[in-house]
């Protein structure tokens, strides 16, 4: 997802209401989405080791989660919404 598209998504209630709580009332994926937006808006030279580590975590999460694709319609599923929080829309 493009940074602006992800930014619009993380503002929605669907985005905020899906995923595992990080302990402070915000889902882990929702926090990740906000971090991904910041990373995508940087140039390659501005990226830190933490940024690269987070993106490796993102890739791992997406790959694991994609393998759990539900059999029913995914368009309005928590499965899709969770992936979107991590910057990936399986419907595109």
Give me the pLDDT at residue 67, please.
Answer: 95
Q: Could you give the CA distance from residue 44 to residue 21 in angstroms, rounded to a whole number?
A: 31
Domain boundaries, the chain: 3-85
What pLDDT digit, counting tens, does each position of 11-22 carry? 999 999 998 888
**Token pair 């882990």 in the structure block, residue:** 28
Q: Which of 42, 62, 61, 63 is nearest to 51 (CA)?
A: 42
What pLDDT digit, counting tens, does each position of 35-56 carry? 999 999 999 999 999 999 999 9
pTM of the predicted protein model: 0.92
């Amino acid at each position: 997802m493009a940074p602006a598209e992800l930014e619009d998504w993380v503002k929605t209630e669907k985005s905020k209401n899906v995923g595992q709580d990080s302990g402070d009332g915000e889902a882990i994926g929702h926090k990740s989405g906000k971090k991904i937006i910041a990373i995508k808006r940087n140039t390659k030279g501005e990226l830190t080791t933490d940024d690269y580590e987070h993106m490796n975590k993102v890739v791992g999460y997406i790959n694991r989660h994609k393998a759990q694709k539900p059999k029913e319609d995914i368009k309005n599923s928590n499965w899709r919404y969770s992936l979107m929080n991590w910057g990936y829309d399986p419907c595109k």
